[in-house]
Structure 1
Amino acid sequence: MATPLTGSQLLAALRAEGLVLNEVGDWRRHNRNTKGAWGPVNGVVIHHTATEGTDASVNLCYDGRPDLPGPLCHGVIDKAGEVHLVGNGRANHAGLGDRFVLQAVIEEEELPKDHLADTDGNRHFYGFECINLGDGQDPWPEAQLLAVEKAAAALCRAHGWGERSVIGHLEWQPGKIDPHGFTMDALRARIRSRLAKAPEGPAPSKGAEPSEGPAAPKGSAAPTGADGADGAGVTGGTGSGVGDGAGGGGGPSAVPPMPQHPPYEPFPGGEFFRSGSGGPVIAAMAERLIAEGCDHYRHGPAPDWNEAHRKSYASWQRKLGFHGKDADGVPGRVTWDRLRVPNARSRPPG
């Protein structure tokens, strides 16, 4: 067992293993620590999301659902092998599992079959959600599998664990099938081989986009409600679990500081971008798209959301390397944070 890593320690461990990382929103303070204990930690649980699309999956894992507040894991691993950090602390991912499985993880022994649901896994495990439908047909690209291997190995290395500290959700909570499409024994063999060597060191820099960029800080307190539904994970959404939650001065004559606004517009949510929406946020977005060479505005950008905005944003998504449903022109948190739209409230007038 071990003391959980801080956000900086987690970031450093993952980078040292050669992973490409994206920091989402206020992930360092995004947790459910007020609803239950976080730590000691004993291992890593691997999941599949049962979703498709990077933006949609990352948003879901960051925000959660009405019946299962986020974060739903610590990191989301996409098809290209990039890791999107969405939480740091207690997360709604593992739920209630088998105490004998936990004991085997602690002792790094062969796992027994999971029959019980009597132990709080959200307290004891880091969790990674891997974007995959989990239907046995959706492929697992080698880049993604390599990232799963690296992420799990990074945490094992940081805590001095072996590969038997890494388990699948299906090995922890009765009734779960994730991850589906590869075997945990095969993954553990890869992790064992990686741990026998020195870490490969940080991945090449992504230039101007080393991370997802600033976003409006979300409070450390988790959304209220539905706390008794904790622990099902993204997959299936029907598992059982335990209640859970988020986890400058001056003398008397000092002039109070002026309110500060974040430099970039926080992601307003995908539902904001629909017919009838408009105003300074969309205008600022259009300016940034044009500056990035993603300009489908034949007569200049209108203040209201329209097809020209959608086509321009789709160009931005493709510029970042997204394709298919990930490049449909509807902003998501990942691509929005990378666009870095100036905050309309902090822009100089005129």
Structure 2
Amino acid sequence: MSDPLSADQFIAALRAEGVTVVEVGDWRNHNRNHKGAWGPVNGVVIHHTASSGTRDTVDYCYDGDEELPGPLCHGVIDKEGTVHLVGNGRTNHAGKGDAAVLDAVIQESALPRATVQNTDGNVRFYGFECINEGDGKDPWPAAQLEAIERVSAAVCRAHGWGSGSVIGHKEWSIEKIDPVGFGMDGMRKRIAKRLGSGPSPCNEPFPGSEFFRAAPRSAVIAAMGRRLVEEGCSAYLDGPGPRWTDADRQSYAKWQRKLGFSGSDADGWPGKASWDALRVPTS
């Protein structure tokens, strides 16, 4: 059981896991918190949503309709594996489900079959809608399945959960069939394998805040600077080089602002979430 991630923490976690993210409208403040609680949170629910295309699906999941106002999830995963963020907070995605299933998610134990609908899942779960007709014929491209794996692992990693915290909507509710076309047991195995390592075993682990404040001279600093340049966050007049300088701090502050951080969270001193999202190659 955890407090929900802030918008900054959420998007940083996704990017740290290598997820391609598109921010839609005012997603950071778009929620149903005025209708009920959001959190403590316990897991992730995967859905499919029949659609007539990415744009229409994203718009619908953002706005909803008169009977079911949006947002209808936290993110929409398209066929190319891009995740469109449409909500932050309580969203209309899980609905009522079985308290025994929630118990199993919390314990990360074997899931019982849902038989009743006595618990509000919108309080407890992050939700991702995946674009698919749900007819068993519409294909699930590899990029889309990988994105499901990555977003699930990202949220689990941020909260310290295992793959048992990820379920399909059909495992939560007796009224739902989604997702159709792939098995959740297999997806949980993929997520578990990903969680067995860091966001990328080829990336430099976060060296700690004090490392930078000591003005180090290190190949890690040069590698970081090159990544900042690649991300369009350069304040360098020359370089970057191996010695930590004010130009590094200014460049890193640009990166933090690009991730959506502000104020003291965008002061140019690296933190773990922003560092993981930068994906600095091992030096």
Give the Å deviation of 1:206: 8.2
Per the alignment, residue 150 of structure 1 pairs with 150
Number of residues of Structure 1 aligned to a counterpart in Structure 2 = 210
Quote the residue 1:136 is aligned against.
136
Structure-2 change in CA distance of 1:115 and 1:191 (3 Å):
same
Alignment of 1:1-350 (within 5 A): 1-200=1-200
The answer as to whether partners of 1:19 and 1:83 remain within 8 angstroms in 2 is yes
- Contact 1:52/1:131 (CA < 8 Å) preserved in 2? no
Residue pair 1:114, 1:173 contacting (<8 A) in 2 also: yes
CA contact (8 A) 1:52 1:132 kept: no
Describe the shift of the 1:207–1:64 C-alpha distance in structure 2 as closer, same or farther (beyond 3 A).
farther
Question: Matched residue of 2:34: which SS?
Answer: coil
Q: Deviations over 1:178-200 (max 9, x none)?
A: 00000000000000000001102
Tell me which stretches of 4 or more aligned residues in structure 1 moved more than 3 Å: 203-208
CA distance in 1, matches of 2:18, 2:102: 29
Cα RMSD after superposing both structures: 2.1
For 1:38 and 1:206, the matched residues in 2 are separated by 33
Give the drift of 1:207.
7.2
* Cross-structure match for 2:271: none
* Helix, strand or coil at the partner of 1:112: coil
Q: Which amino acid aligns with 2:30?
A: H
Q: CA–CA distance in 2 between the matches of 1:25 and 1:206?
A: 22
Taking structure 1 as the reference length, the TM-score comes to 0.58
Deviation at 1:52, TM superposition (A): 3.2
Please report the TM-score for the alignment, with normalisation by the length of structure 2. Answer: 0.71
Q: SS at the partner of 2:47? A: strand
Shift of 1:4: 0.1
SS across alignment from 1:117: coil
Name the SS of the counterpart of 2:171 in structure 1: helix
Q: Which structure 1 segments of 5+ residues have no match?
A: 214-350
Q: Secondary structure at the match of 1:130?
A: strand
Equivalent-residue separation in structure 2 for 1:36 and 1:15 (angstroms): 29
1:43 shift after superposition:
0.1
Instruction: Report the alpha carbon displacement of residue 66 of structure 1 after superposing the two structures with TM.
Output: 1.1
More helix as a share of residues: 2
Equivalent residue number for residue 276 of structure 2: none
Which amino acid in 1 is paired with 2:183? T
Which residue does 2:269 correspond to in 1?
none
Q: What CA distance in whole angstroms lies between the structure 1 residues aligned with 2:74 and 2:231? A: 22
**Within 1, Cα distance between the matches of 2:24 and 2:55?**
11
- Residue identity in the other structure for 2:168: G
